[in-house]
Amino acid sequence: MKFFLDTADLKEIKEAVSWGALAGVTTNPSLYARIGGTLADFPAHIDRICTLCKGPVSAEAVGTTRDEIIREGRELAAIASNVVVKIPVTVEGLAATRALADEGIRVNMTLCFSVPQALLAARSGARYVSPFVGRFDDISEDGLDQLSNIIVALNNYDFTQAGVNGENIEVIAASIRSTNHVTQAALLGADIATVPFNVLKKCVEHPLTNNGLASFNADWEKVRNA
């Protein structure tokens, strides 16, 4: 499973890239609003993210009609070669995804909450689909169950002919809120987990690592002083 960072914060992206294990970045309008982003600066901001992280960078189209989404998608894709256009799973979103995929533009279909939505995203040529885990948990349903169903269903079929350049669709486990979500996403076979920076930090940490390190350091002091 690859790790993407779910943020629009350049400091977080720079830091996570420096750890050496980051494969991509996902953003959305809420994450961009959270860092105080402006409409005028949005393309430049996406470009800055694409410079920091060489992997796929998802930038979301906010139009509601297929024509608007297609136009935005083309503009976003022109910012940098690693931009992936993020589009919600709606009728208009599916139609726009098909049109953009036919032009060779990669799409990440987002706000996916069901197997039929994921199958339709794959058939419309999406390069990625993002099932949301945590938002199911928010309404007292099991987001990991839904993620599991989507992975099993997609693995039943071959979507290489539907997508861009014969690439198969990849599942991005999104709306990740905990290290357990990360663990379970990997065990279920998600291709990617997109995680907030605070969760990524927790993924590195373990109390037994800290304890073990403290005792190794203490013992090494004894060696140095012997």
Q: Write out the catalytic residue numbers.
A: 86
Task: Round to the nearest angstrom and report the end-to-end CA distance of the chain.
Answer: 45
Cβ closest to ligand G3P, residue 128 vs residue 132: 132
Q: Which long-range contacts (CB under 8 A, 24 or more apart) does 140-144 make?
A: 143/175, 143/181, 144/181, 144/184, 144/185, 144/188
Q: State both tokens at 191.
A: 């291709």
Give yes or no for a contact between 145 and 115, defined as CB atoms under 8 angstroms apart: no
Cβ closest to ligand G3P, residue 5 vs residue 120: 5
Q: Which span sits near ligand G3P by CB under 6 A: 34-42, 132-140, 147-155, 185-193? A: 132-140
Considering the rule CB under 6 A, would residue 4 count as an interface residue with ligand G3P? no
Q: Which span sits near ligand G3P by CB under 6 A: 15-23, 129-137, 159-167, 215-223? A: 129-137
Between CA 203 and CA 178 the distance in angstroms is 9
Considering the rule CB under 6 A, would residue 108 count as an interface residue with ligand G3P? no
Q: State both tokens at 58.
A: 């998802």
Considering the rule CB under 6 A, would residue 119 count as an interface residue with ligand G3P? no
Taking residues 6 to 25 in sequence order and writing x for each that binds ligand G3P by CB under 6 A, - otherwise, the string is: x-------------------
Q: Which of 97, 124, 146, 175 binds ligand G3P (CB under 6 A)?
A: 175
Q: How far apart are CB 175 and ligand G3P at their closest, in Å?
A: 3
Q: State both tokens at 222.
A: 């004894």
- The residue whose two tokens read 């930090």 is 201
**Which stretches of 63-133 are DSSP H helices?**
66-77, 91-102, 115-123
Binding site for ligand G3P (CB under 6 A): 6, 26, 28, 132, 134-135, 174-175, 194
